[in-house]
Amino acid sequence: MAGQGYGPPPTGPALRLSPKVLLTDPIRMLPSLFLPLAGVLFIGGFSPGSFGWAAFGVVGSVVFAAVRWVTFTYRIAGDRLELTRALISRSVRTIPLERIRGVDVSNPPLHRLLGIAVLRVDTGASGDEKQEGELDGVTVEEAERLKAVLLWHARARMARRAQAQETARASAGPDLAAAPAAGPSAGPPGAAAPREARHEVGETTPERVFFVVPRKWLAYGPLSGAYLLTPFALVAGAVGLAFQWGSEFRIDGRTVVGAGEWLWRHPALLVGALVLLVLAMPVVGTVMYAVFNWDFTLRAREGYLVAERGLLTRRSVSLERRRVRGFELVEGPAERWAGFARAWAIVTGLGDSETRGQLMPVAPRAIVLDVVGEAIGPIATGLRAHPVAARRRRLFRAIFPWLVVAACAAVLAVAWSPIWWGLAAPALVLALLGVPLGLDRYRSLGHTYDGARLSVRSGSLRRSQAVVEERAVVGWTLRQTWFQRRAGLLTVVAGVGAGTGGYEAIDVGEAAGVAFAAEVTPGWLAPFVATETAERP
Amino acid sequence: MSDRADEYRDATSGAAAADRAGGGRPPGGGRVPLRAPANRVARKAVTLWLLEQVFWSVVLVGGSFFLARWIDADRWSWLPLWLVDGIWWLPVVVAVLVVPGAIVEPFWRYAVHRWEFSGDVVYARSGWISREWAFVPVSRIQTVDKTQGTLERTLGLATVEIRTASHAGSSTIKGLDYEVAAVLAEELARRAEELRDDAT
């Protein structure tokens, strides 16, 4: 890699998207066109004129797609990717190749049918969608070529800089070339990589599969709690559609309301439907989860971590390893009970990292740690517990609000009408449940630093532990509310230019909190730490 | 680095030298083992905060006054009778709740808000009832903004916003003398350029 000459890349020709978008764009517009078209047909009473107008609408959308296709070009100009749209005014979006952090290629079903793909360029702008580039509808070959070229340029620049600085970064370089061919947890090679990546730049591609999630693990999906509510969402969607489109089919609101009332008078049916929906929860949840996480594969490919998943839409996310700063391990309540977990990468400048940075879907905790440990680094253990005052605060916050509600409701029940007991009783139960909840929240708290990476953990039911490299810390914020001051606690927030931006150690002891920050970045805090303080026990 | 800190100390009209532990501690606790940053904000910041507080107090009390007048005039029927009868207590209660805080807050803030730039780290303390300490190393600074609202402009004050790649690693120092803010922003930008670290 280092031997190749990295001259300034030449300016490429201006390219258009695949003409097949002329097909996909109008089809994608169909749902939004359907209502107006149906409306026109109904209002026109299916007269020839109304068909004419409807046809006009369809043709219009095709023409619109064509104009968009003609006026949109993209090219790689020197060290920039330029996206030009010259419709009425001319707009050029310039993305410096240096700023490209990752390239996603996805194939929605329709695109896959036509052999085209959507390519998304991920730049450093955090949360600012305007800075991102999207090429919706390039051929699959072109997508792979562009991806290789874009990523190669980004990497070439990095190599140049590395040569100039001659500073060997410990984590970025050697792990790929020297990685053993098959780690202990590498998945079955046959199941991996149906499509090989095309690399026009002519490098050898040391590729390595970290893990392919076995299909039977898809059954564990509902443990995360995600997708469990899909049956209800589907029903709600159907009811919404009935109201929205009902008028088009001469079904007015009264009929729907009438149907609802009829259902209400037959509670057995209603209860039956509800039971059915509840029974459908795990099944539908599993199906949806399986559709999105089918054959989840995590692999390393030339300085990138690539995660692929999906059945209908195969989605591939490339994370530049140089920009990976750590990971977050998340365990929902059911997962904790069953010993499962999920993991996300903490990557600088990756917008929407909650969905895109996923390293492992629901899988046994030990295996998640194994895979993540190989791909990024081991998890920090031996978290330091937070003071007893923190437990008091967690308990108070879990119990007190419900106690207040219960007390108010009880007063109202005595003074007004006994119906308020209906509120007081559940509030009291919730207050009681607050005891184990508060204790659990306290047990979740912890922080540590092992000399290279800091780690903080917190969470109520959904426990989340972040492990972040020390060099990713860009600043510290220590916060203390009035209540925390009375309890002798404070919250330490490590500012990190990646992931959610800040990772909190909640309710650390005052001295321990300052010491934690000073331990991670001694140079920054040492001048300001008071050496002798009146430390009250 | 210490001579630069001295320079700033002079610039803030000698408001305070670096306090030893406990020296300039604001009222109420202070067991956090961090020394106070060297420089106070400009004294005029008290005026600024006071004006802001007066403005919001007037808005709140005035708003509750008009609400009371409206309710009293229309005799809102869905409210309990005793509430409608005693509605003129509303602005009084709001005033009692809001005004003391509005008067105390600026002075309290003045006691808490402090900043320092030494050892290539910006160290700032802010807040009043709740408190916040921020540490931003110059090597991680991405932008330094110096801003002036209308009120700040009339008082000759300015705000310095120091941004890093993370909102949690950023800091805002309010109520600085304009010259102090200008010098600080300039200095920070210059040092940030020199120490640019591309770790993130």
For A166: left if phi > 0, alpha if psi spans -120 to 50, otherwise beta; the answer is left
* Continuous segment of H or E residues that includes residue A398: helix A388-415
Mutate: best of A474, A481, A490, partner B, most B CBs <10 A:
A474
Check residue B197 and give its pLDDT: 55
Range A470-489 average pLDDT: 92
ipTM value for the complex: 0.80
CA–CA separation, B18 and A438 (whole Å): 41
Contacts of B21 in chain A (CB under 8 A): 530-534
**What is the percent of chain A with per-residue pLDDT over 70, rounded to a whole number?**
79
Is A524 within a domain? yes
**A473, A478, A511 member nearest B133 (Cβ):** A478
* B199/A471 Cβ within 8 A: yes
Contact at 8 Å (CB) between B164 and B180? no
Confidence of residue A395 (pLDDT cuts 50, 70, 90): very high
* A490/B32 Cβ within 8 A: yes
**B21, B116, B131 member nearest A530 (Cβ):** B21
CA–CA separation, A41 and A36 (whole Å): 9
* A510/B166 Cβ within 8 A: no
pTM over 0.90: no
* B166/A502 Cβ within 8 A: yes
Question: How many distinct structural domains can be found in chain A?
Answer: 4
Q: Are residues A28 and A68 in the same domain?
A: yes
CA–CA separation, A65 and A48 (whole Å): 26
* A530/B135 Cβ within 8 A: no
Q: Which residue has the higher pLDDT, A91 or A503?
A: A503
Q: Are residues A115 and A26 in the same domain?
A: yes
* A529/B200 Cβ within 8 A: no
Check residue A194 and give its pLDDT: 32
* A510/B130 Cβ within 8 A: no
Is A242 within a domain? yes
What length does chain A have? 537
Range A184-204 average pLDDT: 34
DSSP three-state, residue A524: helix
What's the mean per-residue pLDDT of chain B?
A: 81
pLDDT at A183 over 60: no
Q: Are residues A81 and A143 in the same domain?
A: yes
Q: Are residues A25 and A155 in the same domain?
A: yes
CA–CA separation, A436 and A442 (whole Å): 10
Convert the pLDDT of each residue in B33-85 to its tens digit: 898 999 999 999 999 999 999 999 999 999 999 998 888 888 777 777 788 88
Residue range of the domain that includes A154: 21-167
Q: Which two tokens stand for residue A15?
A: 């390219």
pLDDT at A192 over 90: no
Contacts of B164 in chain A (CB under 8 A): 474-475, 495, 497
**What is the percent of chain B with per-residue pLDDT over 70, rounded to a whole number?**
82
Is A187 within a domain? no
* B165/A348 Cβ within 8 A: yes
CA–CA separation, B76 and B94 (whole Å): 20
Convert the pLDDT of each residue in B13-45 to its tens digit: 333 333 333 334 443 445 788 989 999 999 999
Is A284 within a domain? yes
Q: Are residues A141 and A229 in the same domain?
A: no
Architecture of domain B2-16+115-194: Roll (2.30)
Q: Are residues A434 and A455 in the same domain?
A: no
Question: CATH number for the domain including A47?
Answer: 2.30.29.30
For B175: left if phi > 0, alpha if psi spans -120 to 50, otherwise beta; the answer is left
Q: Are residues A421 and A467 in the same domain?
A: no
C-beta atoms surrounding B163 within 10 Å: 19
The helix, strand and coil proportions of chain B, stated in percent and rounded to the nearest 5, come to 50, 20, 30
Q: Chain A residue closest to B2 (CA)? A: A527
pLDDT at A3 over 70: no
Is A397 within a domain? yes
* B166/A496 Cβ within 8 A: yes
Confidence of residue A245 (pLDDT cuts 50, 70, 90): low
**Whole-number Cα distances in Å, B44 to A312, B39, B124:** 63, 14, 18
Among A134, A167, A200, residue at a domain's last position = A167
Q: Which residue has the higher pLDDT, A479 or A316?
A: A479
Check residue A128 and give its pLDDT: 44
Is A377 within a domain? no
Q: Are residues A163 and A32 in the same domain?
A: yes
Q: Please report, as a single letter, which amino acid is at residue A396.
A: F
pLDDT at A185 over 90: no
CA–CA separation, A398 and A378 (whole Å): 33
Domain ranges of chain B: 2-16+115-194, 45-108
Check residue A167 and give its pLDDT: 46
**Whole-number Cα distances in Å, A490 to A450, B132, B147:** 21, 10, 30
Check residue A57 and give its pLDDT: 79
Check residue A258 and give its pLDDT: 78
Check residue B148 and give its pLDDT: 86
* A514/B169 Cβ within 8 A: no
| A478–chain B nearest CA distance, Å | 5
Closest CA to B179 of B198, B160, B166: B160
* A511/B33 Cβ within 8 A: yes
pLDDT at B183 over 60: yes
Range A251-264 average pLDDT: 73
CA–CA separation, A234 and A237 (whole Å): 5
What's the mean per-residue pLDDT of chain A?
A: 78
**What is the percent of chain B with per-residue pLDDT over 90, rounded to a whole number?**
46
State the greatest distance between any 2 C-alpha atoms of chain B, in Å, as a whole number.
Answer: 70
Q: Which residue has the higher pLDDT, A130 or A400?
A: A400
Q: Please report, as a single letter, which amino acid is at residue A384.
A: R
Q: Are residues A136 and A47 in the same domain?
A: yes
Three-state secondary structure along A277-341? HHHHHHHHHHHHHHHHHCCCEEEEECCEEEEEECCCCEEEEEEEHHHEEEEEEEECHHHHHHCEE
Inform me whether the C-beta atom of residue B199 falls under 8 Å from chain A C-beta atoms.
yes
* B28/A534 Cβ within 8 A: no
Task: Kindly provide the b/e burial profile for residues A407-420, where b requires at least 16 CB atoms within 10 angstroms of the residue's own CB.
Answer: eebbebbeeeeeeb
Q: Chain B residue closest to A516 (CA)? A: B33
Mutate: best of A350, A471, A477, A482, partner B, most B CBs <10 A:
A477
Range B105-111 average pLDDT: 94
Q: Are residues A238 and A288 in the same domain?
A: yes
Residue that the structure tokens 């001694």 belong to: A522
**A480, A497, A527 member nearest B131 (Cβ):** A480
Check residue A293 and give its pLDDT: 87
Is A490 within a domain? yes
Closest CA to B166 of A98, A503, A520, A129: A503
* Continuous segment of H or E residues that includes residue A346: strand A340-347
| A476–chain B nearest CA distance, Å | 5
Query: What residues contact residue A209 under an 8 Å CB cut-off, 6+ apart?
Result: A186, A187, A189, A192, A193, A297, A298, A299
Task: Kindly provide the b/e burial profile for residues B78-95, where b requires at least 16 CB atoms within 10 angstroms of the residue's own CB.
Answer: eeeeeebeebeebbeebb
Residue A317 CA, distance from chain mean position: 11
* A517/B135 Cβ within 8 A: yes
Convert the pLDDT of each residue in A402-432 to its tens digit: 999 999 999 988 888 888 888 899 999 999 9
pLDDT at A507 over 90: yes
Contacts of B196 in chain A (CB under 8 A): none
In eight-state DSSP terms, residue A78 is: T
Q: Are residues A163 and A31 in the same domain?
A: yes
**A480, A497, A510 member nearest B164 (Cβ):** A497
Closest CA to A494 of A506, A482, A480: A506
Three-state secondary structure along A126-173? CCCHHHCEEEEEEEHHHHHHHHHHHHHHHHHHHHHHHHHHCCCCCCCC
Q: Are residues A415 and A531 in the same domain?
A: no
